Amino acid sequence: MISALVDHIRRYVSLDEQEVALLAEYIEVLEVKKKGFLLKEGEVCKANYFVIKGCCRSYFITEKDTEHVHLFAIENWWITDYSSLERKVPSMFYIQALEPSILGVLKRDKQDALFAAIPQLEHYFRSILEIALAAAHMRIKYIYSQSGYERYHHFSTSFPEFVQRIPQYMLASYLGFTPEFLSKIRAGKIS
């Protein structure tokens, strides 16, 4: 079941079969129903989640009860709340499955032992975090420097697999505008 994770890791570092077997001892497999939660605001995040199959989102809710999506994850993507995970403080985010999902779970309390047993996994996770941080920086740049139409066009051409799987109101939230504005873009009324 974790072969997708092993393949992903091997894109960054080498693992021999003994290390793969050891990794399998540390990774739990979790099935989550559509709309099931991995994390709710106020809970302490206790794991990193690798999407083997499915789609998840991370979001927060404002005082006015408005949801703001800040991250999506599909197959071969990781999702977690690193601030809560590393500092062991209550999360300000929700992580939810948008589809029935199968996840590889690396619990925080097992992570250090896994890194000690397979040191190259620290390099793997550093590489993943660097990529995620660079993507977050670019997202912020696009929000401040591109029009709504430009953001939608960039996202839909860069990540067409998301556009087909994510409800439009969530995509609009992620891109920083209203669902009505997204409808106008898709209808060709805004360019």
Which domains occur in the chain, in start order?
A: 3-119 (2.60.120.10)
Tell me the three state secondary structure of residue 133.
helix
Residue from 73, 40, 37, 103 nearest 166 by CA: 73
The rounded distance, in Å, linking the Cα atoms of 37 and 52 is: 16
Helix pair angle (120-145, 148-158), 10° resolution = 150
Tell me the three state secondary structure of residue 11.
coil
86-138 pLDDT, tens digit per residue, is: 999 999 999 999 999 999 999 999 999 999 999 999 999 999 999 999 999 99
The rounded distance, in Å, linking the Cα atoms of 91 and 42 is: 5
- The conformational region for residue 6 under phi > 0 = left, psi -120 to 50 = alpha, else beta, is alpha
16-39 pLDDT, tens digit per residue, is: 999 999 999 999 999 999 999 999
**Can you spell out the DSSP letters for 72-116?**
EEETT-EE--HHHHHHT-B-S-EEEESS-EEEEEEEHHHHHHHHH
42-59 pLDDT, tens digit per residue, is: 999 999 999 999 999 999
Q: Across residues 59-77, what is the average pLDDT?
A: 93
Residues 6+ apart with CB under 8 A from 4: 50, 52, 53, 75, 76, 104
Query: What percentage of the chain carries pLDDT values higher than 90?
Result: 81
- Mean pLDDT, rounded, of the chain: 94
pTM summary value = 0.92
